[in-house]
């Protein structure tokens, strides 16, 4: 069967028309990009066209190599632009039949020796790693026609048909950015602006301004980082930005006013997904105000979503359970150590990893992962909701909530916050009284001024929670 993703790259190379790239001051129009890909294709080895570990990032050179791999029929297993040596070694030891694309040596194994790609009978296009938020990262396999359908469904749900450019603020190896932006640009011939990301906020915003990028994808934490760095100013505003998509966590309702300053003419979409969905499940437009943070919209395309009990029995509408998905826009299974694919299930369905419910109208509400819903005195409490409310309190920049379970089985919420100074107790108490039931109040609340972040600009939740549990942070209040 013909692969639409590979065909799109081959057409680009042949016709020298389509996607263009911008990286800093460098503009790479379609003819030049086509030539770069063709030259890179000539350097790839003969032999089987199986999976190969390949770096992908916000650089023309990395995307050139990635596109050349696709054009030649290899199946790129996407890696970040930089991977710690120990992590890379563990990955290669876990998948010994799959070579690594070394810039200097070509295809090699974990010891640096030459290794050809393996022959695989199953049809697939690329492989994306999960974030590992629910355990060790898994490698999710995507098929060309499914990826194309997902891009089309995303574009329809986000009204992207009239747009001609996108700015990549997230790293390109993120499934969210790779499909929603890179693959979209490839299939539509749009301009792809590759920014250095939030680590260089002024350079990123100035590049997006100059290139008049029309849509972007980001996570809520990136807005909070921009706010903390003093970049929410009119001089950095992006008036050409028409669509802003949020995913990778709850929508940035706490930064809604800042978003209006930075993106004064944009339409905002809340998106939900997972790498298994490659990567989008649902979407909806957000208008601000008192909207439920759990509401992530309706399924994109023909995707089916439902909630189940722990044994996989489907729940009726409006009942909370494990979220399951199935459709022809998703990944097809898990990559095995020999390069083959293990389907998610007999019918192609898979759990998203979160708990939620689907209403009678088909609207999906997501309440978090299993460890983000706790039972406090018989009341089901969402830690995501607690974080949203605490985060919206005056003086709080961000919040991380976790559940504590006593030996008796009793559970209660613990919260850590950051900002310039600890929040005032009376203001916090009044805010919680207005927005949360008493069961959802944090029994202990800690303060940390310097928020540890992961490389993707999200809070290092595990470290923050460990510090709070070990009482190594400043205690703001204790209701125990």
pLDDT tens sequence across 132-190: 544 467 899 999 999 999 999 999 999 899 999 999 999 999 998 999 999 999 999 99
- The mean per-residue pLDDT over the stretch 376-393 comes to 85
pLDDT cut 90: percent of the chain above it = 69
Comparing 310 with 289, the larger pLDDT belongs to 310
Give the residue among 480, 456, 457, 294 at the shortest CA–CA distance from 383.
294
d(CA 311, CA 315): 11
**Apex 363 CA angle, 361 and 367, nearest 5:** 140
Alpha-carbon gap, residue 359 to 120, rounded angstroms: 42
If one counts every other C-beta atom within 10 angstroms of the C-beta of residue 438, the result is 11
Residue 208 near residue 216, CB atoms below 8 Å: yes
Indicate the DSSP class of residue 162. Answer: T
- The mean per-residue pLDDT over the stretch 387-401 comes to 90
CA 449 to chain centre: 26
Q: What is the mean pLDDT of residues 88-92?
A: 88
Q: What's the rounded mean pLDDT across residues 28-52?
A: 97
Q: 148-157, 256-265, 284-293, 415-424: lowest mean pLDDT where?
A: 284-293
The confidence score (pLDDT) of residue 231 equals 92
Q: Is the pLDDT of residue 83 over 90?
A: no
DSSP 3-state percent helix, strand, coil across the chain (nearest 5): 30, 30, 40
Q: For residues 40 and 102, what is the distance between their CA atoms, to the nearest angstrom?
A: 14
For 27, half-sphere exposure in the C-beta direction (CA atoms, 13 angstrom radius) is 5
Question: Comparing C-alpha atoms, which of 436, 429, 442 is closest to residue 389?
Answer: 436
Q: What integer is the mean pLDDT of 32-54?
A: 97
Please give the pLDDT value at position 456: 67
CA distances to 300, 336, 406 from 354, rounded to whole Å, are 18, 24, 24
- Helix (H) or strand (E) holding 152, with range, is helix 144-158
Tell me how far apart the alpha carbons of residues 64 and 57 are, in angstroms, rounded to a whole number: 10
> What is the share, in percent, of the chain residues with pLDDT greater than 70?
98
User: What is the number of residues in the chain?
Assistant: 480
Contact 273, 281 (CB under 8 A): yes
- Going by pLDDT thresholds of 50, 70 and 90, the confidence category of residue 51 is very high
CA–CA distance, 356 with 321 (Å, rounded to integer): 6
Q: How far apart are CA 131 and CA 174, in angstroms?
A: 9
Give, for 149, the enclosing helix (H) or strand (E): helix 144-158
The reported pLDDT for the residue numbered 133 is 47
**479, pLDDT greater than 90:** no
In whole numbers, what is the pLDDT of the chain averaged over residues? 92
Quickly state the pLDDT bin for 47 (edges 50, 70, 90). very high
Minimum mean pLDDT range among 2-6, 214-218, 230-234, 246-250: 246-250
Q: Whose CA is closest to 283, among 185, 183, 154, 146?
A: 154
Map tokens 């939620």 to a residue: 356
d(CA 27, CA 191): 10
- 332: closest CA among 31, 115, 125? 125
Token pair of 21 as six digits: 């790239």
List the alpha helices (DSSP H) in 193-302: 201-211, 220-228, 256-262
Q: How many CA atoms lie within 13 A of 145 on its CB side?
A: 6
* pLDDT tens string 348-366: 999 998 999 999 999 999 9
pLDDT at 136: 60
Does the structure show a pLDDT above 80 at 440? Answer: yes
| Alpha helices in 392-435, H assignment, sequence order | 425-435
365 with 356: CB under 8 angstroms? yes
């Amino acid at each position: 069967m013909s692969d639409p993703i590979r065909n799109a790259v081959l057409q680009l190379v042949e016709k020298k028309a389509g996607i263009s790239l911008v990286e800093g001051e460098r503009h790479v129009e379609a003819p030049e990009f086509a030539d770069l890909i063709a030259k890179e294709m000539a350097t790839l080895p003969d032999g089987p066209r199986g999976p190969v570990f390949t770096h992908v990032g916000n650089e023309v050179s990395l995307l050139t190599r990635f596109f050349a791999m696709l054009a030649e029929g290899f199946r790129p297993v996407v890696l970040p632009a930089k991977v710690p040596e120990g992590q890379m070694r563990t990955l290669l030891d876990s998948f010994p039949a799959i070579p690594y694309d070394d810039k200097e040596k070509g295809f090699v194994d974990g010891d640096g020796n030459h290794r050809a790609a393996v022959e695989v009978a199953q049809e697939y296009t690329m492989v994306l790693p999960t974030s590992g938020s629910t355990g060790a990262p898994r490698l999710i396999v995507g098929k060309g026609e499914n990826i194309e359908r997902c891009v089309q469904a995303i574009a329809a749900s986000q009204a992207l048909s009239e747009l001609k450019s996108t700015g990549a603020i997230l790293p390109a190896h993120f499934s969210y950015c790779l499909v929603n932006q890179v693959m979209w640009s490839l299939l539509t011939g749009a301009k792809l602006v590759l920014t250095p990301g939030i680590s260089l906020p002024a350079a990123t915003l100035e590049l997006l301004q100059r290139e008049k990028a029309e849509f972007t994808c980001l996570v809520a934490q990136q807005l909070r980082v921009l706010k903390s760095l003093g970049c929410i100013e009119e001089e950095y505003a992006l008036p050409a930005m028409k669509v802003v998509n949020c995913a990778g966590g709850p929508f940035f309702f706490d930064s809604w006013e800042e978003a209006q300053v930075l993106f004064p003419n944009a339409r905002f979409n809340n998106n939900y997904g997972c790498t298994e969905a490659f990567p989008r499940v649902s979407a909806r437009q957000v208008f601000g105000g008192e909207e439920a943070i759990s509401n992530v919209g309706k399924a994109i395309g023909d995707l089916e979503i439902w909630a189940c009990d722990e044994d996989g029995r489907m729940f009726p509408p409006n009942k909370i359970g494990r979220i399951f998905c199935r459709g022809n826009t998703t990944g097809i299974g898990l990559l095995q150590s020999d390069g083959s694919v293990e389907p998610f299930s007999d019918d192609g369905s898979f759990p998203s990893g979160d708990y939620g419910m689907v209403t009678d109208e088909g609207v999906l509400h997501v309440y978090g992962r299993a460890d983000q819903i706790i039972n406090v005195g018989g009341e089901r409490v969402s830690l995501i909701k607690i974080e949203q409310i605490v985060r919206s309190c005056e003086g709080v920049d961000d919040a991380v909530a976790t559940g504590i379970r006593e030996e008796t089985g009793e559970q209660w919420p613990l919260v850590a916050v950051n900002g310039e100074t600890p929040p005032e107790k009376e203001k916090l108490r009044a805010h919680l009284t207005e927005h949360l039931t008493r069961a959802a109040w944090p029994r202990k609340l800690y303060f940390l001024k310097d928020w540890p972040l992961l490389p993707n600009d999200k809070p290092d939740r595990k470290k923050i929670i460990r510090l709070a549990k070990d009482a190594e942070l400043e205690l703001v209040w204790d209701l125990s």
